[in-house]
Structure formats: C-alpha cells, structure tokens
C-alpha cells in the first residue's frame, strides 16, 4: 500500500496542475481587458522621466519637440490605444501631472 503512495500523489499532482492550466487559460480567454486614457497637465511636468520607467507597455516618452512653461520637455503618450489604465504613471509622478481614466472593454 505504501508503495502506491508516490505514484498516486504524482498522478494527483499532475492532475491538479493540468486542471490549473485549463482553468487559467479559460480565465484568460474570458477576462475583460482594461483600457486607459491618460491626461497630462503638462505645464506642471519637470521632465524627471520617472513616469517613463514604470509603464508596463512602454508608451510614455518625453516630447523632445516641445518645451513647457517651466522649460522642460514634457512627458507624453504617443500610442494611447495601448494603455491598459494601470495608473502606475499617475502614482509615481511627484508633481501630480498625470490623471488616468480606466474602463473595461466589453
């Protein structure tokens, strides 16, 4: 009887892992996607670039073509359709330049 244990546990463990994968994949397939819209109060931006370091989809950059009232190149988002609305950029900005609107896609 004890000889069966490792094999049974192994089968059980394998079965649980397989079910987990199936459940995870099912969950991912049905999970709603989030979309975000980011707005910059750009004259408050001091060009520290912190927000560019925390975006998981790398869509924040400094706009080298413009200079704000403080004399800095302001942060901007070029591909807003890629924003997932995580809010990281707004959270890290020390000067409260950024606001994020988040909505779920249907």
93 contributes a contact to ligand SF4 by CB under 6 A: yes
- Exposure class string for 39-68: b at 16+ Cβ within 10 A, else e: ebebebbbebeebeeebeeebbbbbeeeeb
Minimum CB separation from ligand SF4 for residue 104, in Å? 14
98-104 and 34-40 beta bridge pairing? antiparallel
Give yes or no for a contact between 20 and 82, defined as CB atoms under 8 angstroms apart. no
Cβ closest to ligand SF4, residue 55 vs residue 71 = 55
Q: Which of 97, 99, 105, 106 binds ligand SF4 (CB under 6 A)?
A: 97
Note the residues at the interface with ligand SF4 (CB under 6 A). 36, 38, 45-51, 54-57, 59-60, 75, 77, 83-89, 93, 95, 97-98, 100
């Amino acid at each position: 009887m004890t000889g069966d244990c490792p094999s049974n546990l192994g089968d059980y463990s394998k079965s649980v892992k397989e079910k987990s994968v199936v459940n995870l994949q099912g969950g991912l397939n049905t999970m709603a996607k989030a979309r975000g819209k980011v707005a910059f109060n750009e004259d408050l931006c001091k060009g520290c670039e912190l927000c560019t370091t925390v975006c998981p989809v790398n869509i924040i950059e400094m706009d080298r073509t413009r200079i704000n009232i403080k004399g800095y190149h302001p942060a901007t988002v070029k591909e807003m359709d890629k924003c997932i609305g995580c809010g990281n950029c707004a959270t890290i900005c020390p000067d409260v330049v950024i606001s994020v609107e988040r909505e779920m896609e249907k």
